[in-house]
């Protein structure tokens, strides 16, 4: 009887111990760090979520939340995520946003131009993770058949486009109906003509909805011929290219489907598109196009082509039980292995110098960023206070282009 009693007690103790373990594990998984995404593209979100499911982080069940883009994130508020993913330029005041100061060590292997992203020069508030860029793509077979070399300058690019348009206009295609593409195009033109100084001046403008007119004629610098560079000058350049027949009459309304249709039909000698858009093309179509960095005027001083860089930040108010895991996760995302996986899954370029890129396009994009004097953010995120204002800016730019500048 005593043996049976001891056996029953032993079994009971084992059951209780297992129950305690289960409760602890369940509580740990229920009380998990939250990853917040602020207007992040779907492929990057999917890549981050896939890595969050890695067995090395299995003691936690990360929660995910899409943040309201109508307002700038404030991580000090109740229920705010432990980690914030956003594009460079989206956070105007890191302290007001509640971002923690981060250690530079995890990003030591990144090129210096990229290490400056997420830092105010004294403190680091974000790690740069992935790079997107508006490239100039040309149809390789068409160029080879007539002996054309890739145009190295903005002027030669437009001269080549005019030759193609003379036979079968238009020559330049772009999905201008996409906000990020349109905003990056404006930024690319300003930088191409005025260099780094003009790019930084554009980013310093403060846009307010329905107030585009107040910014149009502010000086951003000058080009190599001493002609003024303003927001209006670059918008008027696009208006004139449409009038010449180089751009399709509806280019500023085109989506990626429209762009890919012209490319698939062999009717697009030039295509201006982001790497993230290239990834969504039919592989057979994409393989016919070679991408190069957006060309600049010969005198454009200190090149700083526009790059859209996805960053990750830590909530300064995150509880310690979340903070430690969040820091481990951020360090892994910034590591060579984490970068390789992020790049492979998203199709974008890694920021780590030693991370293997998935293909030539991603590898070259990282080299372009590394060779830049500075990595400047997309104008929309730099100029607008939040996602809603950024969308309003893109809408006003389209209205200007549709009206040909009349009334502005």
Residue 29 pLDDT greater than 80, yes or no: no
Residue 293 shares a structural domain with residue 333: no
Instruction: Classify residue 294 by its DSSP letter.
Output: P
Residues 388 and 258 in one domain: yes
For residues 193 and 225, membership in a common domain is answered with yes
Q: Are residues 102 and 227 in the same domain?
A: no
Is 4 inside a domain boundary? no
Q: What is the mean pLDDT of the chain?
A: 89
Q: Are 166 and 271 in contact (CB under 8 A)?
A: no
SS (H, E, C) 95-130: HHHCECCECCHHHCCCCHHHHCCCECCCCECCEEEE
Judgement on whether residues 184 and 301 belong to the same structural domain of the protein: yes
CATH number of the domain encompassing residue 297: 3.40.190.10
Strand partners, 132: 308
> Do residue 111 and residue 93 come from a single domain?
yes
The tens digit of pLDDT for each residue in 221-275 reads 998 888 999 999 999 999 999 999 999 999 999 999 999 999 999 999 999 999 9
| Same domain as 283, residue 385 | yes
Could you say which DSSP state residue 56 is in?
Answer: G
In this structure, are 87 and 193 located in the same domain? Answer: no
Q: How far apart are CA 192 and CA 301, in angstroms?
A: 9
Q: 202 in a domain, yes or no?
A: yes
Q: What is the pLDDT of residues 188-212, one digit of tens each?
A: 999 999 988 999 999 999 999 999 9
Q: With respect to residue 22, please indicate whether it lies within any of the assigned structural domains.
A: no
pLDDT tens-place string over residues 81-130: 999 999 999 999 999 999 999 999 999 999 999 999 999 999 999 999 99
Q: How confident is the model at residue 5 (pLDDT cuts 50, 70, 90)?
A: very low
Q: 339: pLDDT confidence band, cut at 50, 70 and 90?
A: very high
Opening angle at CA 251, ends 245 and 257, nearest 5: 130
Domain extent for 239 = 132-306+378-403
Question: How many domains does the structure of the chain reveal?
Answer: 2
Q: Do residues 292 and 202 share a domain?
A: yes
Residues 280 and 199 in one domain: yes
146 and 118, same domain (yes or no): no
């Amino acid at each position: 009887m005593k043996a049976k009693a001891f056996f029953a007690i032993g079994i009971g103790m084992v059951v209780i111990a297992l129950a305690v373990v289960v409760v602890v594990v369940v509580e740990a998984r229920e009380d998990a760090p939250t990853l917040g995404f602020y207007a992040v593209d779907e492929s990057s979100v999917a890549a981050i979520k896939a890595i969050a499911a890695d067995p090395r982080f299995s003691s936690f069940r990360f929660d995910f939340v899409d943040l309201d883009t109508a307002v700038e994130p404030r991580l000090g508020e109740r229920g705010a995520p432990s980690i914030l993913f956003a594009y460079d330029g989206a956070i105007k005041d890191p302290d007001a946003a509640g971002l923690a100061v981060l250690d530079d060590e995890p990003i030591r292997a990144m090129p210096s131009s990229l290490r400056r992203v997420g830092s105010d020069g004294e403190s680091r508030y974000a790690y740069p993770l992935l790079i997107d860029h508006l490239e100039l793509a040309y149809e390789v077979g068409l160029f080879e058949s007539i002996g054309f070399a890739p145009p190295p300058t903005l002027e030669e690019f437009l001269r080549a486009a005019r030759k193609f348009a003379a036979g079968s206009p238009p020559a330049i295609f772009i999905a201008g109906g996409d906000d990020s593409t349109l905003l990056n195009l404006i930024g690319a033109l300003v930088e191409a003509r005025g260099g780094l100084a003009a790019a930084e001046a554009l980013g310093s403008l403060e846009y307010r909805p329905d107030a585009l007119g107040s910014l149009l004629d502010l000086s951003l610098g000058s080009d190599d011929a001493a002609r003024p560079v303003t927001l209006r000058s670059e918008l008027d350049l696009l208006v004139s290219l449409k009038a010449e027949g180089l751009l399709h009459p509806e280019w500023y309304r085109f989506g990626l489907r429209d762009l890919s249709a012209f490319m698939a039909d062999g009717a697009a000698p030039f295509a201006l598109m982001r790497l993230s858009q290239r990834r969504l093309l039919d592989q057979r179509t994409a393989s016919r196009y070679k991408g190069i960095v957006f060309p600049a005027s010969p005198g454009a001083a200190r090149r700083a082509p526009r790059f859209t860089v996805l960053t990750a930040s830590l909530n300064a108010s995150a509880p310690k039980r979340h903070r430690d895991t969040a820091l481990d996760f951020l360090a892994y995302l910034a590591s060579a292995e984490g970068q390789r996986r992020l790049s492979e899954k998203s199709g974008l370029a890694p920021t780590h110098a030693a991370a293997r890129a998935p293909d030539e396009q991603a590898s070259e994009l990282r080299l372009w960023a590394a060779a830049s004097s500075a990595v400047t953010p997309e104008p929309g995120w730099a100029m607008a206070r939040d996602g809603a204002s950024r969308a309003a800016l893109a809408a006003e730019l389209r209205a200007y282009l549709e009206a040909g500048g009349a009334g502005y």
